[in-house]
Amino acid sequence: MGFPNNFLWGASTSAFQVESAVNEDGKTDSIADVRSRKMSVASTDMASDEYHHLHEDIALMKELGLKAYRFSISWTRVLPNGDLSVINSKGLSYYQKMIKLLKDNQIEPIVTIYHFDYPMALIKKYKGWLDPNSINDYFNYAKFLIDQFHNQVKYWLTINEQEVQVFNPNMLGIYDNNASKLFEKAQTANLNMYLGQAKIIKYVRENYPNLKIGPAVSFPTYLPATMASEDAWAAKKQENIFAFSLMDIVIRGKIPKLYLNWLQKHNVHWNLTISDKKLLKQGKANYLGLNWYTTQRLTVVDHKVKEVKIKNAKYTEWGWAYDPVGLRFALNQIQERYSDIPVIITECGWSEREKLENGQVHDPDRINYLKDHLLQLNKALHDGVNVIGFCPWSFIDLLSSHEGMAKRYGLVYVNVNDRGKGDRKRIKKDSFDYYRKIIETNGQSLFESN
């Protein structure tokens, strides 16, 4: 029993969900800003305003005892045109300040280079990821950051949940009324993302071999809902297409046949040149960020795959199942497939609608979620999985990817509602103290309370 001494106890956020200050100090719009304004819920400029609460938030991280903070850099805060034509010194200095403060407080920065917030300037200029120029513009941006911060930042995440974006192409600013054309476009973007990503990983491996660089992938556990082999195959296929194809390409440097066949079935043909194939081989990740929240149980009805909810099981209000053993299962699958690749859990968390009660926020469900998932993570460690850190989503309440401010995940409450009203006061939830104790005892408190 126990956790390794240097285990990275962390917490996560992303720029468009936590920063606010959307058009301040030279930042321009990203697709995440534009999308959020079209929704009926709070938009990115109504979020938690970390941009103006940086010192306070880092003081809270210190009080929590964090060993790591996983956050993303806003591409359009640093490069308002998306390319290197303009470098926004005010935007850059915000991240210089943040990284310095983290290091001064012995908190390891884990930096996501691109988390759902592609520059609108590049979408307007050449339709973003649909154009091969996007490969170099992503590479140049990532290289710029890594050249700047390689002395302070050891852990880099290339792209957050590429597959989620490809399966929801509006997150990339890609639209088409014709479903098969939309699919084809999304897959063109997908390939360009793979090439841009491989290019920066290759650069890092050649120039900064001590750094860790890899993707942050979404990998829910997929299980068959019944004993039928059709359901087992549906679950297997879903994990292969949605999650393992990405991990195979970025960790093994090769596109799996199953994925190419699936593309072909949808009339999409990726024409990779010899140098593209070589690039994928040279740009292999040396660690993995894993975003894991839940398990989905799948069944086939009338040739269609559907998710089945289990009676009496626990779900969030938004339908995400509570299944701690699913985390151990997923981690073991990663271990079996990619042997000793180091894994950081870059997201894992429980969402609730919450309110202040006499200046306090009680979140027993989140506490139980943390406890049960960490106990399973601990079992996975002892199964031999090379987990080196855990960053729950989220450090502080922030804007959901598409469901506003009311869907809260934070260890710290932020006083702002879905209309953007509130003083943004920070209030530690009960889970804050619970997690602080876990960190302080390097996980031992988990076993005491059991």
What CA–CA distances, in Å, run from 311 to 80, 296, 314? 49, 14, 9
Catalytic hit among 19, 239, 347, 352 = 347
Shortest distance, CB of residue 90 to ligand BGP, whole angstroms?
25
Minimum CB distance to ligand BGP smaller for 3 or for 156: 156
Among the listed residues 129, 92, 119, the one whose alpha carbon sits nearest the alpha carbon of residue 29: 119
Q: Are 175 and 169 in contact (CB under 8 A)?
A: yes
161 in catalytic set = yes
Reading the block at residue 131, the tokens are 């154009």
Name 79's Cβ contacts closer than 8 Å, sequence gap at least 6: 86, 87, 88, 119, 141, 144
Applying CB under 6 A, which of residues 57, 161, 231, 352 lies at the interface with ligand BGP? 161
Shortest distance, CB of residue 295 to ligand BGP, whole angstroms?
15
User: Does residue 74 belong to the site contacting ligand BGP (CB under 6 A)?
Assistant: no
Minimum CB distance to ligand BGP smaller for 138 or for 292: 292
Minimum CB distance to ligand BGP smaller for 18 or for 191: 18
Q: Are 285 and 113 in contact (CB under 8 A)?
A: no
Catalytic hit among 19, 50, 161, 239 = 161
Residues 401-440 that bind ligand BGP (CB under 6 A): 401-403, 407
Shortest distance, CB of residue 407 to ligand BGP, whole angstroms?
5
Applying CB under 6 A, which of residues 71, 393, 413, 432 lies at the interface with ligand BGP? 393
What CA–CA distances, in Å, run from 11 to 44, 48, 77, 191, 428? 20, 16, 22, 30, 14
Minimum CB distance to ligand BGP smaller for 108 or for 347: 347
Name 151's Cβ contacts closer than 8 Å, sequence gap at least 6: none
Reading the block at residue 334, the tokens are 């990663």
Shortest distance, CB of residue 17 to ligand BGP, whole angstroms?
6
User: Does residue 14 belong to the site contacting ligand BGP (CB under 6 A)?
Assistant: yes
Q: Are 257 and 173 in contact (CB under 8 A)?
A: no
Minimum CB distance to ligand BGP smaller for 15 or for 225: 15
At 390, which helix (H) or strand (E)?
strand 387-390
At 288, which helix (H) or strand (E)?
strand 288-291
Minimum CB distance to ligand BGP smaller for 231 or for 397: 397
User: Does residue 160 belong to the site contacting ligand BGP (CB under 6 A)?
Assistant: yes
Shortest distance, CB of residue 260 to ligand BGP, whole angstroms?
26
Shortest distance, CB of residue 395 to ligand BGP, whole angstroms?
12
Count residues binding ligand BGP (CB under 6 A). Answer: 15
Reading the block at residue 279, the tokens are 């690039």
> How many CA atoms within 13 Å lie on the side-chain side of 208?
20
Reading the block at residue 436, the tokens are 């602080």
Residues 281-310 that bind ligand BGP (CB under 6 A): 291
Applying CB under 6 A, which of residues 114, 400, 416, 434 lies at the interface with ligand BGP? 400
Applying CB under 6 A, which of residues 41, 54, 164, 260 lies at the interface with ligand BGP? 164
At 221, which helix (H) or strand (E)?
strand 221-224
Say which residue the tokens 């469900």 belong to. Answer: 365
Shortest distance, CB of residue 35 to ligand BGP, whole angstroms?
12
User: Does residue 70 belong to the site contacting ligand BGP (CB under 6 A)?
Assistant: no
User: Does residue 30 belong to the site contacting ligand BGP (CB under 6 A)?
Assistant: no
354 in catalytic set = no
Applying CB under 6 A, which of residues 351, 378, 386, 431 lies at the interface with ligand BGP? 351
Residues 212-241 that bind ligand BGP (CB under 6 A): 218
Shortest distance, CB of residue 227 to ligand BGP, whole angstroms?
31
What CA–CA distances, in Å, run from 364 to 12, 180, 367, 370, 430? 20, 45, 5, 10, 8
CB atoms within 10 A of CB 46: 22
> Quick one: CA dihedral 37, 41, 44, 45, positive or negative?
positive
> 268 phi and psi, to 5 degrees?
-115, 130
Reading the block at residue 207, the tokens are 């120039």
**Binding residues vs ligand BGP (CB under 6 A):** 14, 17, 160-161, 164, 218, 291, 347, 351, 393, 400-403, 407
Catalytic center residues: 161, 347
